[in-house]
Amino acid sequence: MNIKQKGLLIVLSGPSGVGKGTVRKELFKHVDNLKYSISMTTRPMRPGEENGKDYYFVTKDEFIKRIEKGKFLEHAQFVGNFYGTPLDKIEDCINNGDDMLLEIEVNGATQVRHKLPEAVLIFLVPPSKKDLYERLKSRGTEDEEVIQARIQKADSEFPEARFYDYIVVNDKVEDAAKRILEIINAEHSKRIRVYDEYLKILNK
């Protein structure tokens, strides 16, 4: 039975360095009908990143103009750089019945909750704070001062998990991705998403 639905917006967030990108890439190995929302940022491109694949890299002036025109689902500023989600691409995707994964920080997820209450919010957490520090350190892309700033920010973000729909521990990447896939499948079967369409099918 094919029950017509709008697509899901799955928001994956959590502290910087928790492994959101790694878990996301593992998840996409096992899902065919899931699209990835590419965020826009003013931060410099890191080694191995590609414009239009990892992020849309733009100037600060261009980003601010987009804010003024209301073109973001959410946006935030951290360590002198802006990050945001283009609104039009999200709306087109879910209205076409496709699922979209949005990987953002905690402040952005709060904005999404206000604008799209039906979004599925998943908070990814590390096994321990020590583990989070070691992950940030191993990236080798930031100095100790920036790492400590991210750790301090994480301390203020952990309590925000209570406002999310699900909490997933990233103890092992493969297991974390599997748990998220199970959440997505369960959300598609929620009564609020399928009841009306199911009745239409029965009454035909």
**Per-residue pLDDT reduced to its tens digit, 97-114:** 899 999 888 878 888 988
Weakest mean pLDDT among 3-7, 15-19, 123-127: 3-7
Determine the average pLDDT of the residues in 36-59.
92
Domain ranges across the chain: 9-37+99-202
pLDDT for residue 4: 63
Weakest mean pLDDT among 23-32, 52-61, 131-140, 154-163: 131-140
Better-predicted residue by pLDDT, 78 or 172? 172
pLDDT for residue 133: 81
Closest CA to 165 of 134, 138, 136, 187: 187
Residue type for position 203: N
Q: What percent of the chain has pLDDT above 90?
A: 52
78: pLDDT strictly greater than 90:
no
Work out the number of other CB atoms within 10 angstroms of the CB of residue 25: 12
Q: Two tokens at 190?
A: 């929620």
1: pLDDT strictly greater than 60:
no
Determine the average pLDDT of the residues in 45-66.
94
59-93 per-residue burial string, b: 16 or more CB within 10 A, e: under 16: eeeebeebeeeebbbbbbeeeeebbbbbbeebeeb
The CATH code of the domain at 9-37+99-202 is 3.40.50.300
User: Residues 110-120: pLDDT tens digits?
Assistant: 889 888 899 99
| Mean pLDDT computed over every residue of the chain | 89
Identify the band that residue 154 occupies on the pLDDT scale cut at 50, 70 and 90.
Answer: confident
Work out the number of other CB atoms within 10 angstroms of the CB of residue 195: 11
Identify the band that residue 151 occupies on the pLDDT scale cut at 50, 70 and 90.
Answer: confident
User: Residues 177-194: pLDDT tens digits?
Assistant: 999 999 999 999 898 888
175: pLDDT strictly greater than 70:
yes
Distance CA 16, CA 12 (A): 12
pLDDT for residue 146: 86
